Structure 1
Amino acid sequence: MKRTSRWSVVHILSVILFCYTILILSSPHCCSARDNITIKSRLGYAQTLVSAGNRFELGFFDPSRSSNVKRYVGIWYTTNPQTVVWVANRGKPLSDNSGVLSIAGGDLKVSDDKGIVYWHTDLGLKRLNLVAKLEDTGNFVLLEYRSKGKILWQSFDQPTDTFLYGMKMDENFKLTSWTSKEDPAPGNFTFKKDPAEESQFVVMEKIITHWRSMEPETGKIFESDVMPSTILNFFDLSNNRPEVYSDKRLVMSFTGDLQYWQLDIDTKNWSLMLWFPKDICGVFNFCGNFGICNSKNKLPCKCLPGFKPKLPEKWKAGIFSDGCSRKNTSCDNDFLSFKRMKVRNPDSFEAKDEKECREMCLSNCQCQAYSYVRQRDTVLCLTWTEDLKDLQDDQDGGYDVNVRVVLSDIGATGRNCETCGTNLVPYPLSTGPKCGDPMYARFYCNNDTDHLSFNAPSGSYNVISVDPEARIFVIQMQSEKPDNCFFMKSSGSRILQLNESSQFNVTSWCSGDLGNFTTDSSLNDTVAVGISWKPPLEPTCTSSAECKDWPHSTCNKTGNGPKRCLCNANFRWDGLALNCTPEGGQSAESFHSNKLLLLILGLSLATAMALFCAVVSICVWRRKVVKRRAKQRKAALHRYDTERGVKELIDSNKFKEQDETGIDVPFFDFESIIAATDNFSEENKLGKGGFGPVYKGKFPGGQEIAVKRLSSVSGQGLEEFKNEVVLIAKLQHRNLVRLLGYCIRREEKILLYEYMPNKSLDSWIFDESFSQQLDWETRFNIILGIARGLLYLHQDSRLRIIHRDLKTSNILLDAEMNPKISDFGLARMIQGKQAEANTLRVVGTYGYMAPEYALDGLFSVKSDVFSFGVVMLEIVSGKKNMRFYQVEHAPSLIGYAWRLWEEGKALDLMDETMRASCNASEFLRWVHVGLLCVQEDPSDRPTMSNVVVLLGSETVSLPIPKQPAFVTRRTLPTTASTSSKAESGFEITSTVEEGP
């Protein structure tokens, strides 16, 4: 019995020991999860890797948690709720549970059971001893097992939207937001180092700057935009206490906010410590140029006094980014002073006093504003010569800024009250007894805070904007139901207690839409109320001297009221126009007729004086011309008298049409040209094309020239020759080639140009050795120079010219690589408001001709825009449009560029020789502009004036380009060719490949 009992006890103890062993082995402390995979192991969708310190976890996750399965491979903190810090296949999720993460073919891969790859590292390593490990820093690394931990790839080099300590913040680093809270695909916002400012940072919304940090020194009054030392230390890898930053992360949010989070060790909850931008006024240039932002106002944006919204409809809808523009662009000497203002990017100079600072600004018409600042022992004069950006008012520590204005634009009179902050106080509104009209004395300006307030019977309300033209001001008031316009309309009048006899009427009770932005939370229960004022009576006065601002009036008293500036006989008071208008014995028509007569007499006298001055000027000019021609006759070149030479040419019937304007280009005799070119020797030949050879020449004295000798069998006949001579004679621009002279002798037709030592653009961008010398800045200047030259032809010159044959071989480069547009033989002049013309004879070059011109003979300035777009794409890619099919098997360079743009791979278009010097965001913007220029419909293409603005500004938004006009051809000529199409078909002649 005892033996049986003893056996039972031993059996029970054995069972207990077995269960305890099983419990211990199942404990996570004993059986920890793995932190790596090898070639022989892989990770399925239901499995995870956990870092050694149990801080991070890697596996498959679905952020949407919906019935529509989207599985991603990501890394997250092991704490709850799940906080994802990195995503592998963020743009290509799996739609089922068959996904695996494995090492295959020398790469990390995410694939499904069908072998479809959703993400891979693209290393192609031919090694068998690879291991992928999740580290306690959150870094997922691919290592060579036997090479002492040599890292071959790491997730820290390919971050998504989160920065963790240990990542390297350099010029190539960037964070890209998620598309939404439930979609980790790349979103609209990117955080990176600012390429324009060293040691500063920027958040981009696609290609538009959303937020930009400021340096601590220059940004001392922009403290909200200075990157805190907390985050800067977080970026510093040299910090010897990494554990301090192990529970912190920096996130580029899909909302556009840069967020700095910290984990509470005790509660395991994340706290948002810092974020940028701080408010809507922190968004870069939120109110646009010359727009003032104040996040304390329900309507945060308004224009500076003397300015108006560029796009009023957008402004009313709460879209302020287009900013404001001056009502008048004249260069006046008057300034309005605004206190406590924030403005970016001033130029800084030392000045002894404010007067010297003001004079410095007055001496430059480009100066928009100035500020006189004392900083410690230094006195600085700050000036702004570009449009004022990021203006913010009511800011502690801000500048006192003096902005240049035209007084007529702000309706300035001797009776106006002084500006209160950024608010004008126009007549008749009054802030005191010495200005405005006493009947409108409901306003108070606090000079300490620069706040303007409106005193209603029910209380005082902050005025946030004043519109003198519309006679409306907007106040901000509390409301129980700020979003209920009907409630405000029914209760607002009662609240303000404005009766019918008041000079003020409520016009609107609801504020504008602020889109995705919100103002200060303290404004959630406020509403913006619009109030108009009634036209005033005649101004009050004590003497007629006070009526000088109101012509045709005299200070008189009527009845028991105060004295007023009453209108004289035949005039009546107009309260809207604030002046005396004619009436009574003399009708308004008669009054205006007399004014018109005086105006005509004045103009006649002015015209007579102008004619007299013109005659005197012509006489002086003719004397100078005679003296100059006398000297020219003695010169070795034997130049003919220009006017006589032109007359002889016209009378000789060699020109088929009369030239009434004359030719202002010197005529050279044939013998002098033979001497300059050494009888057109082969050694001096620069090139040869369908129009004939081009030679280098040198005149006595050392002047180098390029001589274009038109062949008698050339496709360019007498009409094109005369066209080029006459047109270039009328054009003068630094980006157009200069015509020095011409010569006609029997069948010889010769043009003399300034010599371009660097020849034509195509000889540089399409040559492997020369193209390496064209860095991004040089190409930038070349493109911008071509654009400015075309803008001059289309808009700014005395004649409106369409070039019709713009191509890289017709762009010449001087010694400093400045571009010069040449070859105007095919150019045409359009007159007056003529927008386009047509022709039965189509001339131009394949690959550069716009489709409407090549097919229908219609040409306009938009035809040149198309050609410019092709040239622009050739410059940035280093590839020829005509020969492109031989390289990429695409119909044309335009087609290839469009395909890359559609696929989001536009950077692949970049010429490899300039990749090191290129700014990626600028490159994408320029490709964008190029595709806008080559759109099929001419009306969709921008004008050259628009192109110059788009190329020179980072803040101007770009429209989405439509499919361009590229044509698929069966065969293409192997060299650039000029096409001349009549009704019977095409005639092909090659053009000069190398120019002067």
Structure 2
Amino acid sequence: MNTRTVSLHILFLFLLLHLIDSLHTLDQNNTMKDGDVLISQARKFALGFFSPGNSSLRYVGIWYYGQLERTVVWVANRENPVNHTSGVLAFDHYGNLVIRDNIGDLPIWSTNISSLTSNNSATAQLLDSGNLVLIHDLSKEVIWQSFDYPTDTFLPSMKLGLDRRTGLNRFLTSWKSEDDPAPGSYSYRFEPTGYPQGFLYKGRAPYYRGGPTIQYPHGVDRAMPHDFNYIIRVVRNATEVSISYSASTISRYVLQEPGSLKYFMWHDEEQRWSEFGHYPKEQCDYYKNCGPNSNCDANTADQLDCTCLPGFEPTSPAEWYLRDGSGGCKRRRGASMCQSGEGFVKVQGVKLPDTSTVHVNISLSLKECEQECLRDCNCTAYSSADKSMGENGCLKWFGDIVDTREFSNLGQDLYVRVDAIDLARHRKSTLVKKAMVATILVSAVVLLLLGSLIYCLRLKRKRDRNARNHLSRVTTISAYVDKIACLKDLDSEGRRKTDIPVFDFGTIAVATCNFSSANELGHGGFGSVYKGVMNDRTEIAVKRLSKYSGQGNEEFKNEVKLIAKLQHRNLVKILGCCIEEDEKLIIYEYLPNKSLDSLLFVGTWHRSMLCKASFL
């Protein structure tokens, strides 16, 4: 046999031994040994033997495929590990999937499907959801699935709760430790009695209650990604009572020691898990932290976080004084609660009390629920079933009201029964609060209006003062010699030859309505002419030289000097001028019976002036 043939045989044997690595199904003709891996079709999950933490014991489990750090989501033989690497996963002759220690013949774990016979055959398939299913070869029905026997992890599309047809109750149990996946002290169950709700137990004692409505992951502490889509689905019918969820990203709930239900999301870019929330996380989360008929508020840092519900008083005032509210509250003495004018007080924004024993009627409105509760003297409180349903659905409590807490973001309104005296007291208190709120709002509005009025008056006074200042700043050229030296025109003895009033630019702007187009009389190559009215009702015509006319200070000075010298009854009378920064204005008397702009534009005005001057 040549070298090439030997190599081909070795390659064939290698492929045969590891063929299971590329498969997502296992049938009765195959056996999976320690070291082999079953991979889901889209390569999202893997199944095989592993050792947790620092343990050397071997378990069959399911984990996320392709992650650097193995994250196990399900363990088959969590109470019966294999002591060495000789374990195998295979089908027995009844069609059950079993784990055997290669040394012994007895299985240490089995799917234990009692309805199978020796004539039955099945195939195991690992789905991309992380669910290991056994499919009957003939009927193609799922006859067993790992999702029905969860360990510590709650995955999308997995159900927790009761299957009424089979009696199977699916719940989470924590690992004992990171090295031991055996059931720990804590379990999380979706309880079907009353109105279904989630419970975290320590042993058999309730440790934390999730409440009847869950709209977001438990205890979300961080902002979710903008494209995150999370949907809770609760089923309550004749065949099952269950809760499940779906998420747009890779995520999982994990129940960990010591008693914490955590929600994780996978960051693909960073290749790591991030915790987005957990419960319980504060004192009010613990079951019955404040005892019956009380409300727990975690925001009262400097005070006792327990308060009695309306119509109740502390069971033990001494313990209450010592900041111990575990004893809860009792009805006030002398309270008459049956057909004696009693009513209900609304407690806003709370996690509804324990619903294990409530009476449920989904078809009733909130008003009908109130009437039913009022007719029954034993009814202590009522609420709508779920605020996402609007004000529909009816929950009625009888006896003590247990495990209520402030829940401002996701809370609902609870209506607590009180006697006529407490009802009147709370109505009066409500009216006083409303009056206080109304007084504060009215005062705020009045102050706002008063402040606005004062501001407007001050603004008006300032504008009027500025306008008066503009009008009062009219003076002669001699007073502005330093400011506009270009208009200085003195004789050899220092006497003034001209005495032309100089106007402030603001004064002219006010007179012409800020040079509005409605006041424009005409325009030409050097600027525009505007009609204006002074404060004393004098009508004026203002020639405003364009900034782009090309006429500089010298030309403007000469023009003003010339007009000032040529004051004559046959000429348009000049009333003054203005120079401020780039603005150059000449103010004339207004001629209502002739076109002033014909004298002020192009060359006509200059020719007319010069012509008249030659006859002086």
When normalised by structure 1's length, the TM-score is 0.30
Which structure has more relative contact order (CA 8 Å, sep 6+)? It is 2
**Larger C-alpha radius of gyration, 1 or 2?**
2
Q: Which has the higher strand share?
A: 2
When normalised by structure 2's length, the TM-score is 0.46
Q: Which has the higher helix share?
A: 1
